Amino acid sequence: MDAPPVDPMVGRLLDGRYSVDSFIAHGGMASVYLATDTRLERRVAVKVLHAHLAGDHETLARFQREARAAARLSHPDVVAVYDQGTDGDRPFLVMEFVPGANLRAVLRDRGLLTPGETLAVMDHVLAALAAAHRAGLVHRDIKPENVLLTADGRVKVADFGLARAVAGSTVTTTGSVLFGTAAYLAPEQFEHGTADERSDVYSAGVLMFELLTGRTPFEGDSAYAVLHQHASQNVPAPSTRTPGIPPQLDALVTWATARDPAQRPTDANELHDSLVDVRDKLSLHAAVPGLPVTATAPLAATTPPPTPTNALTQAVAAGSVADAAPPQGPTRHRGQRSASGPRFGRRGWIVAGLVGLLIVAAGVLGWYFALGRYTHAPALLGETRPAADAALKRAGLHAKWLKPVYSDQYAQNQVAVESPGPGDRVGHGGTVSLRLSLGPAHIPSVSGDTVAAATAALRAVGVTVSSEDHVYNETLKSGLVIKTDKPVGQEVQAGSSVILFVSKGPKPVAVPDDLDGQSVAAATAELSSLGFLVDSDQQRYSNTVAKGDVIASVPGGGVERHQGDIIKLVVSEGPEYVDVPNVEGESLVDAINALKAAGFKVDDEQFAPGGPQQVFRETPLGKQKVGTTIEIDYY
């Protein structure tokens, strides 16, 4: 039987430092190996770019971008990148080695997670994304394969290979391949080719849906069938797939996965804050699920209730009177004395009394844990901040003030968002998250901004850019925004869209074709009236164009240029006069060559045929206009 092929990377010493010990996994762009950093004596993971991609500039740029992006992050929930280098022609990254499995393996083995475990995992994922967003990066590829779990309960977000700076971040396509996984992509990533922090929030919401239900919200025969569903359908509440999920988790998922980015949390930090609030209020604290184990059913609760040892303890644990009854003594008839006498009767009554007290205590505890430890959030929508603080204080609750939002319903400085909502249950001493209204949104002035800056300014007031119209403009250079299709200051509802009018620069103008022969002053005036600048410093002798008139323009007539461009005029100095060379006594050949070299024409006439061909007379002499005919006589 043939031995399996040996990976040529195993056993190599990369860059004289990293000893490759064993193969871990293959990816679409690179292979990952377990290695030893011989200098620091620690285990590391080394990602080596595939040989056939090492010469591809786009792939190499993505590979290098992963190192730069991850190097900008320093967070316990992000896989650290230690080093980057090239061994021969093979680029590689040196990363933190995270022993364990990815979240996909856990889901494959266990089906789904409990709400508590889901919140425990998402707590770390959102914390990692929040760190990236604070650093100005979007991950763009959040999915279970990029979330690593260790046996000791750590969570690490990996693969920042698609990470880009927030400003101008776009989705890259190659043929029919869309980088990023279709099941988790936000609609704007494939509809408009853009991604920002809210795109990561959408993907995190889809991931949370999958953890709670065991499936992604949309499935199809092809990636584009799934993408179409993301664009045309709302992500359903997880409880429609898995009954029993608390409505607060439904609300978190549907908020994060709103199709309109303006309706989502602004970034992972905001979603993380809300997730922590929900976890604390529902007391859904749980450990991160460990490595996959063989499982034949969905996960049980993170902390299973203790097994009752008898009917009485079961009644106390459940808070139910029906589950237990007082112990019964021996039956005796009227007039019959018990063998134990009155002592047994007193003991029975004592036991019965204790059982009754325990049942009452169980009922009280059951009521407390089911209802008594909760109060209801007061109705605060429309209140001012001082009034809301006072109402919460009276209710024994605390306020958490988040970033204000634009609101069409509530006036400026009134409470516009309350979570939990009015009347919802909240634990005594708990926290209610509130947002004040900024009032209705108005179209800001974006004239002179770049498209990216204008889009961000509009997004801040809840307005999206539906399209761009590029037109000529005489005052703004190409690429700058002229205006929107809605006037500055107009009140708009959140979720509205506008068209951006973007400058293509001044409209091209044809250079006049009648400049030749005009005076410099006339030609300059005509060019200036068309918005051109004029340079008339270049001069040239001309026997045909009068001194001071235009010989030609550069560029020539009919060529299109933009206003503000420089048109050069070649101006005549008139004819050129030079001294006629004295060629008397020279041979005929030398005389003709000398006169032509000086720019003159020659008319020669021979006298006394048969002579030595020597010039004996030349006319005219002195300074003559270049091109003049010089007569020479020779014999």
Residue 520 has pLDDT above 70, yes or no: yes
Q: For residue 225, what pLDDT is reported?
A: 86
Q: How far is CA 332 from the centre of its chain?
A: 82
The tens digit of pLDDT for each residue in 589-609 reads 999 999 999 999 999 988 878
Residue 324 has pLDDT above 60, yes or no: no
pLDDT-derived band at 196, boundaries 50, 70, 90: confident
Q: For residue 545, what pLDDT is reported?
A: 93
pLDDT-derived band at 126, boundaries 50, 70, 90: very high
Residue 498 has pLDDT above 70, yes or no: yes
Q: For residue 24, what pLDDT is reported?
A: 87
Residue 73 has pLDDT above 70, yes or no: yes
Average pLDDT over residues 449-462: 88
Distance (Å, whole) CA 386 – CA 429: 18
Q: For residue 343, what pLDDT is reported?
A: 44
Distance (Å, whole) CA 125 – CA 102: 13
Q: For residue 605, what pLDDT is reported?
A: 87
Enumerate the β-bridge partners of residue 614.
Answer: 587
Residue 184 has pLDDT above 80, yes or no: yes
Q: For residue 290, what pLDDT is reported?
A: 64
pLDDT-derived band at 67, boundaries 50, 70, 90: low
Enumerate the β-bridge partners of residue 35.
Answer: 20, 44
Average pLDDT over residues 346-364: 63
pLDDT-derived band at 562, boundaries 50, 70, 90: confident
Between the ranges 237-246, 311-320, 350-359, where is the mean pLDDT highest? 237-246
Give the least confident one: 87-101, 252-266, 330-344, 620-634. 330-344
The tens digit of pLDDT for each residue in 6-48 reads 788 999 999 999 999 999 888 767 889 999 999 999 999 999 8
List phi, psi (to 5°) of 23: -80, 140
In what order do the strands lie in the sheet containing 464-471? Answer: 464-471, 497-503, 481-484
Residue 518 has pLDDT above 80, yes or no: yes
Write down the catalytic residue from 141, 200, 277, 549: 141
Task: Tell me whether residue 405 is exposed, middle or buried, using C-beta atoms within 10 angstroms of its C-beta: 0 to 12, 13 to 18, 19 or more.
Answer: middle
Q: For residue 424, what pLDDT is reported?
A: 83
Q: For residue 619, what pLDDT is reported?
A: 94
Higher pLDDT: 351 or 307? It is: 351
Half-sphere exposure of 85 (CA within 13 A, CB side): 13
- Using DSSP, state whether 197 is helix, strand or coil: helix
Residue 478 has pLDDT above 50, yes or no: yes
Average pLDDT over residues 350-361: 65
Helix (H) or strand (E) holding 118, with range, is helix 115-134
Average pLDDT over residues 262-275: 94
Q: For residue 302, what pLDDT is reported?
A: 31
* Helix, strand, coil percent values for the chain (each to nearest 5): 30, 25, 45
Q: For residue 341, what pLDDT is reported?
A: 41
Average pLDDT over residues 297-313: 31
The tens digit of pLDDT for each residue in 75-112 reads 889 988 888 888 887 888 898 998 888 999 999 999 99
Q: For residue 570, what pLDDT is reported?
A: 96
Token pair of 46 as six digits: 């080394």
Enumerate the β-bridge partners of residue 479.
Answer: none
Q: Which amino acid is at 501?
A: F
Peptide bond into 378 cis (omega under 30): no
Average pLDDT over residues 364-377: 59
Identify the CA nearest to 129 among candidates 36, 268, 248: 268
Active-site residue, 141 included: yes
How much of the chain exceeds pLDDT 90, in percent? 49
Alpha helix positions (H), 192-300: 197-213, 223-232, 247-256, 268-282
Mean pLDDT (the chain) is 82
Give the least confident one: 401-415, 527-541, 620-634. 401-415
Give the least confident one: 171-185, 294-308, 329-343, 497-511. 294-308
